[in-house]
Structure 1
Amino acid sequence: MERRKVTFKLYPNAREAERLTAWVRLHCELYNAALQERIEAYRKAGKSISYYDQQNVLPEIKAARPEFVELGSHALQQTLRRLDLAFQAFFRRVKAGQTPGFPRFKASARFSGFSYPDPAGWKLLQQGRRGGTLRLGSGADAMGIRVRGRHRFAEAKPNDLTIIRKNGEWFASVTLRVPETACARERTDHQHRGVDFGLTDWATFDNGETIANPRWTRNELPRLAALQRQRAKKKKGSVRYKRLSQEAARLHERIGNLRREFLHQTTTELVRTCAVIATEELQTKNMSRSAKGTLEKPGRMVKQKAGLNREILSVGLGMAHQMLAYKAVEAGTRLHMSNTRQLKPSQRCSACWEIVPKTLAQRVHRCPHCGHTMPRDQNSALVVLIDAHTPGTGVAARQKPLARQRAKSKSLTRETPATTAQV
């Protein structure tokens, strides 16, 4: 059985929305009380309280506070487990020598929601193709909230549910257990394509075709800047300040929705038409690292690098790779991820396989060894496609990172230009 996550939008009426808000407030109160208990126990007695210690006290809490009863035992346990995971992450960062980030108390207005870790206490009733009802609770006090959304699986069993509150709207994130046969995607073609992801064009293929970069963030920057200027003139915490903050948050959410929809549609079309997809491994976190530097060694061209980082994060390269990874498995497509450090697709000639150093400003590949001329991104796409047809290459074949090496004239994965011509 495979697991797939589906998000539905909830449309509660005024009474249901008020009740959901009250439930979130109670979950937040439980989270903060459990955090306070752990802090006081260690401060006064040097004792560490575990998740199981706090879980065993839940019956007493429900006896003293009857309003917690309708939330469900499993949902309350999941809130305590959420705090326990925060502490586990804190101790892991301490051991690794990273910035620890001790778990913090949360305001109810900023508490994201609550979860049901199993199918108990809720039920999703699908009605029609695009709607349904989410039933929360049991008995006469159960809520039936209208739901919009659907999934593509003909056979699926719900596993867990998370109720999310975001920008004044409610969502239900459901994890489904789906048979492998129901996950399969139909493939309509058997193309072999190399893809180079970038900023000028979102994607460039080995045959020269391109997909334009929609530039969602850049298109909305004037509107976002106007909202931020208006908010800067308002008193912090005032009604108008909060209203403008919500408008800015909704604008960011819209940009994220547009990006996600584009990536889903594009990656689905790729795996539907390709038997082999070749691209290079991209470390988006390293690519978008700040150039600010330190007080002792301040960085250079910080403002320009910040703009470049914004464009890198806007195109969603990391999200595109994740989508391609699981969709390729579902469609039976082979996804080949070339090792960028060893292969150097942007610096290698696809005709003679020699290294041709280039700066970012050079958008055309001109090889001084063989005279091959081609647009830089198309040449990179062709290089990774050739690498995909070479046995034993790619990231999947080399799990450990390679040691730093000087650029060599001959590739470690391709030995002679004659082999390139045969592919």
Structure 2
Amino acid sequence: MQRRKVTLKLYPNAAQAQKLETWTRLHCELYNAALEERIDAWRKAGKSISYYDQQNVLPQIKVDRPEFIALGSHALQQTLRRLDLAFAAFFRRVKAGQTPGFPRFKSSMRFSGFAYPDPAGWKLMQHGGSGATLRIGSGEAALSIRARGRHRFGPDAKPNDITLTRRNGQWFVSVTLCVPDAACARERTADMRRGVDFGINDWATFDAGPPIANPRWVREELPRLAALQRQRARKRKGSVRHKRLGHGIARLHDGISNLRRDFVHKATTRLVQQCAVLATEQLTPKTMSRSAKGTVEAPGRRVRQKAGLNREILSAGFGMAHQMLTYKAEEAGTRLHLSNTRQLKPSQRCAACWEIAPKTLADRMHVCPHCGHTAPRDRNSALVVLIDAFNTQDTPGTGVAARPKPLTRQRASPGP
């Protein structure tokens, strides 16, 4: 059995939406009260309060506050567990010497939602196609909410837990499914061997064949986004119009995010369905999009240009693509090879002679000074990682080629 997550959109009526807002505020109140209890206990008595200490108080809370009964014991426990995980992450960062980030109090408007950690307290009923009904709560306060969405795993997939989230005035439910291994498998339609280089000019460039164009979702919406931000800047903070424009900006960003996720899902699915071997390089978008601002003592150079490049890098969704390729390749039986970028240097290495040919980011053509091999920079990089995948096919894990130079026959016929 494997775990997969699917997200459905909820369509509550006005009364149901008001009830969901009320329940979210109660969960937020419980979270803040538990956080305050931990802080006060440490400040006044030097005592650490655990998750189990706070969980044991829940029955008394429901006696004193009957409105918490409808939320369900398991959902309340999950909210306390959420706070406990925040503290665990805080102490882990302290020990690692990182910026700790102490858990903070949350307002009800910024509290994302609540969760049911097991099958108790809710039921999801599919009606065929994309229609569904989600029933949450117990007794007279239970809610039956229309939902829309479907998954590809069939009737053998069993829901295990759910998380309800509120985003831009809309409600969604993420359902974790327990899926048999056979239902997770993807059918592969071809057995191609391809190297791919992810980039900005083209979203994906292959060792052979046409590239996948970069849709540039953010760039297309920048004029509209800038207009909304200028309008909001003229409004008084806290006013109705200021909030309304803020919601409009959030919806625009949400639409861009949905387009990006849909595109990456479809592109990665096509790749793993067509390829028996898929080679690319390890990417770290967080490092690639690091600011060039610098410090007061050592200010950075070309900061605005680097900020624009960072926006394009994050808009392309390389990190999302790698995550999707990882699990989809496993489901399709595709071998995914991730070359070590720092050691292999795909953009600097020649695919013909395997020597390093230094070039700047502005150089879009690869011209090898050693052997004279000429090719588009991204296509050469894709061919380098594909050759690296062949040279390390018997070596577990990722890394550079086992041989200092590729075999001639592997250079001559890297693909089918």
Q: TM-score range by the shorter chain?
A: over 0.9
Name the residue aligned to 1:349: 350
Name the residue aligned to 2:259: 258
Q: Count residues with an aligned counterpart.
A: 412
Equivalent-residue separation in structure 2 for 1:348 and 1:183 (angstroms): 38
Q: Give the TM-score normalised by structure 2.
A: 0.96
What is the CA RMSD across the aligned residues, in angstroms?
1.5
Name the residue aligned to 2:274: 273
Matches within 5 A, 1:39-118: 39-118=39-118
Matches within 5 A, 1:24-423: 24-154=24-154, 155-391=156-392, 396-398=397-399, 413-415=403-405, 418=408, 420-421=410-411
Of stretches 308-317 and 389-398 in structure 1, the one that deviates more from structure 2 is 389-398
Shift of 1:418: 3.3
Give the 3-state SS of the residue equivalent to 1:246 in structure 2. Answer: helix
Q: Against the structure 1 CA distance between its residues 394 and 28, is the aligned structure 2 distance closer, same or farther, given a 3 Å change threshold?
A: farther
Query: Structure 1: which 4+ aligned runs deviate by more than 4 Å?
Result: 392-395
Equivalent-residue separation in structure 2 for 1:303 and 1:394 (angstroms): 43
Matches within 5 A, 1:2-41: 2-41=2-41
Q: Against the structure 1 CA distance between its residues 416 and 99, is the aligned structure 2 distance closer, same or farther, given a 3 Å change threshold?
A: closer
Name the residue aligned to 1:407: none
* 1:155-201 deviations in Å (ceiling 9; x for gaps): 20111100101110000011001011000000111000110100000
Give the 3-state SS of the residue equivalent to 1:132 in structure 2. Answer: strand
Q: Partner amino acid for 1:322?
A: Q
Q: Against the structure 1 CA distance between its residues 26 and 51, is the aligned structure 2 distance closer, same or farther, given a 3 Å change threshold?
A: same
* 1:288-341 deviations in Å (ceiling 9; x for gaps): 001111111111111110000000000000100000000000000000111111
Q: Partner amino acid for 1:116?
A: Y
Equivalent-residue separation in structure 1 for 2:51 and 2:194 (angstroms): 50
Equivalent-residue separation in structure 1 for 2:305 and 2:312 (angstroms): 11
Q: Against the structure 1 CA distance between its residues 208 and 187, is the aligned structure 2 distance closer, same or farther, given a 3 Å change threshold?
A: closer
Equivalent-residue separation in structure 1 for 2:283 and 2:398 (angstroms): 16
Give the 3-state SS of the residue equivalent to 1:312 in structure 2. Answer: helix
Equivalent-residue separation in structure 2 for 1:39 and 1:32 (angstroms): 11
Give the 3-state SS of the residue equivalent to 1:102 in structure 2. Answer: coil
Equivalent-residue separation in structure 2 for 1:394 and 1:95 (angstroms): 35
Q: Partner amino acid for 1:28?
A: C
Of stretches 241-250 and 92-101 in structure 1, the one that deviates more from structure 2 is 92-101
Contact 1:336 1:394 (8 Å CA) reproduced: no
Of stretches 107-116 and 88-97 in structure 1, the one that deviates more from structure 2 is 88-97
Shift of 1:140: 3.6
Contact 1:387 1:413 (8 Å CA) reproduced: no
Shift of 1:417: 5.7
Contact 2:197 2:381 (8 Å CA) reproduced: yes
Contact 2:195 2:278 (8 Å CA) reproduced: yes
Q: Against the structure 1 CA distance between its residues 37 and 345, is the aligned structure 2 distance closer, same or farther, given a 3 Å change threshold?
A: same
Which consecutive unaligned segments of at least 5 residues does structure 2 have?
none
Shift of 1:91: 1.1
Which consecutive unaligned segments of at least 5 residues does structure 1 have?
403-410
Equivalent-residue separation in structure 1 for 2:296 and 2:392 (angstroms): 48
Q: Partner amino acid for 1:92?
A: R
Contact 2:348 2:358 (8 Å CA) reproduced: yes
Equivalent-residue separation in structure 2 for 1:64 and 1:98 (angstroms): 41
Contact 2:391 2:406 (8 Å CA) reproduced: no
Shift of 1:391: 2.6
Equivalent-residue separation in structure 2 for 1:63 and 1:136 (angstroms): 21
Of stretches 69-78 and 370-379 in structure 1, the one that deviates more from structure 2 is 370-379
Equivalent-residue separation in structure 2 for 1:360 and 1:397 (angstroms): 25
Contact 1:353 1:417 (8 Å CA) reproduced: no
